[in-house]
Amino acid sequence: DAKTTQPPSMDCAEGRAANLPCNHSTISGNEYVYWYRQIHSQGPQYIIHGLKNNETNEMASLIITEDRKSSTLILPHATLRDTAVYYCIVKTGANSKLTFGKGITLSVRP
């Protein structure tokens, strides 16, 4: 599976959009981009995934660049409860494991 690179941390104001970047320059054509988050001392929570089209669900939006070398997770109206570590993962269907990096720590400030 391709590796991902995320900045270690970022913060945003409550109510504003949080845009979390992820680089995956070695992604191959059959690899999907997944985002999970982990709130302190809880298990990771699935957020969203996509292949090449932008995706949106009730939690977030995922924007994948046309060359698929990077993506951005967007939390449209961040709340204090969105403070967590966010993991960007690329994965093929042939491999069942999730390879977690260090993730990005998002701090939402009041």
Partner 1 sequence: KAGVTQTPRYLIKTRGQQVTLSCSPISGHRSVSWYQQTPGQGLQFLFEYFSETQRNKGNFPGRFSGRQFSNSRSEMNVSTLELGDSALYLCASSLAGRATGYGYTFGSGTRLTVV
Out of 9, 45, 54, 79, the only residue in the binding site for partner 1 (CB under 8 A) is 45
Beta bridge mates, 69: none
Buried b (16+ CB within 10 A) or exposed e, 49-83: bbeeeebeeeebbbbbeeebebbbbbbeebeeebb
The answer to whether 54 contacts partner 1 (rule: CB under 8 A) is no
Stretch that binds partner 1, among 6-14, 18-26, 35-43, 68-76 (CB under 8 A): 35-43
- Residue 5 per-residue DSSP state: B
Q: Does 96 bind partner 1 (CB under 8 A)?
A: yes
Contact range with partner 1 by CB under 8 A, out of 7-15, 65-73, 74-82, 91-99: 91-99
Q: Which two tokens stand for residue 63?
A: 């924007």
Binding interface with partner 1 (CB under 8 A): 32, 34, 36, 41-46, 49, 51, 87, 91-102
